[in-house]
Amino acid sequence: APHCSSICWCVAMLEMTNLSVNGRLAPLNWHCAAPGLIALIGPNGSGKSTLLAALANLIPAHGQVRLQQHSLLELEMLDAARLRAMLPQRSQTQISIACHEVIRLGSSMLAVNEAQLSPVLMQLVTRLELMPLLARDFCHLSGGEQQRVLLAKTLLQVWPSLNPRGRLLLLDEPLAGLDWHHQLQLLQTLRELVALGVLVIFSVHDFNLALAHADGLLCLQEGLLVAQGPVSVLDAALLARVFQIRTERLSHEDRSFFIPTGLIPSA
């Protein structure tokens, strides 16, 4: 698991120094020393989407973000796109386009030819079970099917065998709209990507999925980073303080999960 801390004792893979967005995200300091799967949690409106967009340099932000030796906030968009990829929450804007063309857009900023692209594209299509969808119109898919197509497009951008420079994947609620089968399938694919050297940060509302699959945790509340570290920092006290819910923690075969038992009235 990656070592994550607000104090950098070593050369970090990703380091945020006083990263902030006016009125939305307080200055944030955090670093991760190695590839890992990092769950970003927090109530609605806590700043999760803002943080991911700031890391991707898609919105104006202050401070510094260093990905290995690169300062992401100072790079031109094309150069940044070769180092990191981001999947935002799905918009309602839809264009009539075949799904295989949507996926291929993930390689549009990479200098690759068809011989390099095809095997990686088919690898991801197979992993995410998208073969029956390739010729279909993206507009005619269900929400979950569209999400899987967009995930394949985003993964293609940083898949190491196609883009060895890709080191950071940012996903804003990637599990939204997916059934359990496809949630677990995606998480398994993300674990493979981590093993290949990519740092993945994904926002998620399901605490139990974070506990079961993530290496580390970031928790935001009203634009503040209120908890960070291994997933063990997620406990009933944190859930009560940040989410105003009572929970019961259960264990089964060395795994823990939370059951919500009630609300805590706001002060």
Q: What is the band of 69 on the pLDDT scale with cuts at 50, 70, 90?
A: confident
Cβ neighbours, 10 Å, residue 241 = 14
Q: What is the pLDDT of residue 6?
A: 35
Q: How does pLDDT run across 120-171, given as a tens digit for each residue?
A: 999 999 999 999 999 999 999 999 999 999 999 999 999 999 999 999 999 9
Q: What is the pLDDT of residue 265?
A: 87
Contact 187/209 with Cβ under 8 angstroms?
yes
Let me know if 105 is exposed, middle or buried by CB neighbors in 10 A (0-12, 13-18, 19+).
Answer: middle
Q: How does pLDDT run across 194-236, given as a tens digit for each residue?
A: 999 999 999 999 999 999 999 999 999 999 999 999 999 999 9
Q: What is the pLDDT of residue 93?
A: 63
Q: How does pLDDT run across 8-18, given as a tens digit for each residue?
A: 333 579 999 99
Cβ neighbours, 10 Å, residue 70 = 18
Q: How far apart are CA 258 and CA 234, in angstroms?
A: 10
Q: What is the band of 267 on the pLDDT scale with cuts at 50, 70, 90?
A: low
Q: How far apart are CA 59 and CA 134, in angstroms?
A: 32
- At residue 26, the 3 state secondary structure works out as strand
Q: What is the pLDDT of residue 86?
A: 97
pTM of the shown model: 0.94
In this predicted structure, the answer to whether residue 27 has a pLDDT above a threshold of 50 is yes
Q: How far apart are CA 102 and CA 93, in angstroms?
A: 14
Contact 228/31 with Cβ under 8 angstroms?
no
Q: What is the pLDDT of residue 238?
A: 97
Q: What is the pLDDT of residue 94?
A: 76
Q: Taking Cα atoms as reference points, which of 154, 167, 149, 153 lies closest to residue 67?
A: 167
Q: How far apart are CA 190 and CA 196, in angstroms?
A: 10
Length of the chain: 267
Q: What is the pLDDT of residue 254?
A: 85
